[in-house]
């Protein structure tokens, strides 16, 4: 079905920039970049998928069934996204909040052309209908003059809700927690701009340069644009093994090495942040246990602090062996949406989130990733991301945090601003 050709490249960093520039010219493109993450769970340094041969896009109604049929029919590489509002397919829920972006709830495509990068080897994996273009494309990419595109328009960011409204919503969430309705919930707020002419690719270049996260993504499908600097993996399947790595716990970086080290140590010892993380670990363990071999769900890493360019993050790793007969899409359906973006108990938290938030989340706090022909997959969590509809020229990004009984509304607001720092920087300093 596909032809594979590999080439050795001496300067991979240079080739990588040229490849992304070349790929950005296609109308259908997904670029996933690990930014040289050294983790043994990283399959490749980066992958480019372009030029749709087939595609599926739908609202939430029977979305996972449609995705399952598409994945089983193609039996090929497919790339795309799952929006947060697929929760309405999984449970009896609804999404009634304002939606400026108006993206489909699910969108996947089967690329004609795939390029994988790893260990100074570039592998072209093309459908046979276009495999005679491999040599030509490789030469074109090598000879490309890389340049960083510069956007000219200044963008003014507005808050969907005021700080006072956000603090009131945190207070309302705390009332639910104190009544025992929930233990924890992720409360988000939207920042937006209207009538924006945006070069999403140039924004991705800038954001990735200042963040270099392990689950970066650039996606453009028709008028849908995603620029993601995500540090978080949602769920990965390789063979029979499942891995999820929820993030809960965030602290700022400091330019002073000693202070920075102290900030990371304080995060690692913070009882509130640890309790947030442990609650979500319990939730994802429960999700995975529904599709895992009995006794196979394990917490490999609990509340470990990792440092990224913009922030320190507390991350846990949970693994499981998928039970026999469970289809790949079922593993996603059973655990969706990810616990780090919902709360506990999950359904109650999602109902309260819908009531208190002012914006439909859509692709934000959803997932971007791929399926392999063998049914393996890997998806990130869409956070630290800019979303843009090039048709109605609406730009949006959202940030949030976990609210627990120990939450201080003012500090939760400060955490939102910290998480939005890099996004604001690339948009407001054009």
SS3 call for 366: coil
Cα distances (Å, whole numbers) of residue 232 to 237, 245, 272, 363, 391: 15, 7, 20, 15, 29
Q: pTM of the predicted model, to two decimals?
A: 0.95
Map residue 119 onto helix, strand or coil: coil
Lowest mean pLDDT among 155-159, 222-226, 357-361, 383-387: 155-159
Query: Looking at per-residue confidence, does 1 or 117 come out higher?
Result: 117
Catalytic residue, chosen from 51, 232, 273, 415, is 232
What average pLDDT does the segment 266-277 reach? 93
Amino acid 242: pLDDT: 97
Beta bridge partners, 388, equal 225, 395
232 part of the active site: yes
The residue assigned the tokens 């950005």 is 24
The pLDDT of residue 328 is above 70: yes
pLDDT for residue 108 is more than 60: yes
Which residue carries 């050795």 as its tokens? Answer: 8
Sign of CA dihedral 150, 155, 161, 163: positive
Q: What is the pLDDT of residue 386?
A: 98
pLDDT tens, position by position, 287-311: 999 999 999 999 999 999 999 988 9
425 is catalytic: no
Q: What is the mean pLDDT of residues 332-339?
A: 96
Q: What is the pLDDT of residue 151?
A: 53
Residues 233-271 pLDDT 10s: 999 999 999 999 999 999 999 999 999 999 999 999 999
DSSP character for 322? B
Q: What is the pLDDT of residues 351-381, one digit of tens each?
A: 999 999 999 999 999 999 999 999 999 999 9
pLDDT of residue 152: 56
What pLDDT sits at residue 154? 77
Which domains, and CATH codes, for the chain?
Answer: 2-428 (3.60.120.10)
Tell whether the model's pLDDT for residue 413 goes beyond 70: yes
Q: Say which of 248, 346, 351, 360 is annotated catalytic.
A: 248
Which residues in 179-223 belong to E strands, given as ranges? 184-193, 215-221
Q: Tell me, what's the pLDDT at 148?
A: 61
Closest by CA to 89, choosing from 114, 115, 63, is 63
**For the chain, what is the mean pLDDT?**
95
pLDDT tens, residue by residue, 183-193 = 999 999 999 99
Q: Which residue matches tokens 């029977």?
A: 62
pLDDT at 293: 96
14-51 residue pLDDT tens: 999 999 999 999 999 999 999 987 667 788 999 999 99
Distance, in Å, from the CA atom of 381 to the CA atom of 230, rounded to the nearest integer, reads: 7
Q: Is 38 helix (H, G, I), strand (E, B) or coil?
A: coil
Beta-carbon neighbour count of residue 193 at 10 Å?
Answer: 19
Helix boundaries (H) for 24-162: 63-74, 87-90, 134-142
CA–CA separation, 181 and 364 (whole Å): 25
Which of these, 276, 93, 117, 59, lies nearest to 183 by C-alpha position?
Answer: 276
- pLDDT for 147: 64
| pLDDT, tens digit (0-9, with 9 covering 90-100), for 134-159 | 999 999 999 998 666 655 567 889 99
- Residue 30 pLDDT: 98
pLDDT at 374 (0 to 100): 97
């Amino acid at each position: 079905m596909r032809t594979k050709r590999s080439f050795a490249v001496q300067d991979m960093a240079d080739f990588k920039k040229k490849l992304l520039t070349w790929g950005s010219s296609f109308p259908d493109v997904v670029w996933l970049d690990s930014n040289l993450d050294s983790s043994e769970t990283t399959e490749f340094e980066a992958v480019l998928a372009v030029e749709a041969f087939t595609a599926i896009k739908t609202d939430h109604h029977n979305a996972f069934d449609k995705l399952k049929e598409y994945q089983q029919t193609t039996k090929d590489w497919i790339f795309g996204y799952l929006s947060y509002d697929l929760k309405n397919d999984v449970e009896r829920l609804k999404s009634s909040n304002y939606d400026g972006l108006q993206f489909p709830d699910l969108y996947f495509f089967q690329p004609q052309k795939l390029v994988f990068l790893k260990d100074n080897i570039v592998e072209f994996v093309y459908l046979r209908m276009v495999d005679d273009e491999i040599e030509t494309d490789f030469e074109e990419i090598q000879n490309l003059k890389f340049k960083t595109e510069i956007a000219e328009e200044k963008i003014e960011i507005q808050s969907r809700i005021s700080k006072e409204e956000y603090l009131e919503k945190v207070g309302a969430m705390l009332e639910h927690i104190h009544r025992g309705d929930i233990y924890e919930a992720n409360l988000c707020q939207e920042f937006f701009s209207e009538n924006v002419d945006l070069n999403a690719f140039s924004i991705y270049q800038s954001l990735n340069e200042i963040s270099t996260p392990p689950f970066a993504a650039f996606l453009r499908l028709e008028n849908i644009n995603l620029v993601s600097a995500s540090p978080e993996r949602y769920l990965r399947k390789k063979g029979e093994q499942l891995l999820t790595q929820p993030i809960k716990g965030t602290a700022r970086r400091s330019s002073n090495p000693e202070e920075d080290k102290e900030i990371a140590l304080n995060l690692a010892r913070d009882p509130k942040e640890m309790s947030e993380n442990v609650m979500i670990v319990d939730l994802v363990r429960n999700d995975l246990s529904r599709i895992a071999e009995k006794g196979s769900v394990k917490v490999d890493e609990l509340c470990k602090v990792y440092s990224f360019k913009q922030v320190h993050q507390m991350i846990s790793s949970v693994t499981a062996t998928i039970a026999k007969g469970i289809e790949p899409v079922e593993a996603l359906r059973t655990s969706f949406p990810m616990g780090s973006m919902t709360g506990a108990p999950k359904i109650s938290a999602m109902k309260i989130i819908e009531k208190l938030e002012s914006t439909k989340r859509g692709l934000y706090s959803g997932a971007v990733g791929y399926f392999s022909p063998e049914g393996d997959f890997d998806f990130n969590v869409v956070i630290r991301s800019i979303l843009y509809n090039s048709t109605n020229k609406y730009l949006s990004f959202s940030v949030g945090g976990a609210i627990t009984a120990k939450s201080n509304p003012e500090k939760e607001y400060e955490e939102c601003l910290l998480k939005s720092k890099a996004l604001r920087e690339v948009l407001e300093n054009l």
